[in-house]
Amino acid sequence: MIGVGLNHNTHLVNRMKVTYQYRLEPESNQRIILSHWLRICRYWYNRQLGERFSWWENNRHAVNSCPIFVTSLPELLDRPNYYSQKLQLPLIKKDLSIVQWSGELLDLKSVDSTVLQDVCKRVDKAFERFLIGDSSGKRSGKPRFKTEASFRTITFATANNEWIKLIRKNWLYIRLPKLGMSKVL
């Protein structure tokens, strides 16, 4: 079974936000497609996180490492953020992406665009919690690169009531973009 989070039908009930999560029971061919989507999303997450870590390492310097008399400071690199990394998606989708360490070719066009945009949001939130912290100022640890075991969810942020179909008395089905109908437990 593969967990799929849907920001489905978010209501304000007594000023409380409600989000539904469904657990899919996909068919075997859908299971293969979803596994491939998870692989692509994990690659995209790790790639963005790597860009942010390289920015972090290249732009930070110890206080005592700067001499008193400096004629010019090195130029700071632009900080990657949610929007700058999301703007990379159309360019990356034009061609196959090569995973450097394995040589695997990934086609980002096969995954729904809103899913990849949500991955951008996940990276942004994780890195912001590392740099700035939460509302009380408490910083979390350095975000980790995701492995197959630690990246198991996909979020369809544009889900709505039309995606859900009740076909039989006790079975609920959901229509996912680029995947088709899948049984929900």
Q: Tell me if 97 sits within 8 A of 43, measured CB to CB.
A: yes
**What's the confidence (pLDDT) of residue 124?**
93
Residue 120 has what pLDDT?
Answer: 94
Q: Can you give the pLDDT at residue 104?
A: 81
Helix axes 113-131, 28-59, angle to 10 degrees: 40
Instruction: Give Cα 176 to chain centroid, integer Å.
Output: 17
- pLDDT score of 118: 94
pLDDT of residue 46: 93
Please give the helix or strand (H or E) that residue 39 lies within, else none: helix 28-59
Query: What pairs with residue 156 in β-bridges?
Result: 6
Q: What residue type is assigned to position 24 of the chain?
A: L
State pTM to two decimals.
0.78
pLDDT computed for residue 15 by the predictor: 63
Residue 125 CB contacts under 8 Å (≥ 6 apart), including other chains: none
Place of tokens 């630690």: 150
Residue 41: exposure state from Cβ atoms within 10 A (0-12, 13-18, ≥19):
buried
* DSSP category for residue 73: P
Write out residues in the chain with pLDDT < 50, as ranges: 1-2, 8-13
pLDDT at residue 73 in the model = 57
Q: Which helix (H) or strand (E) holds 118?
A: helix 113-131
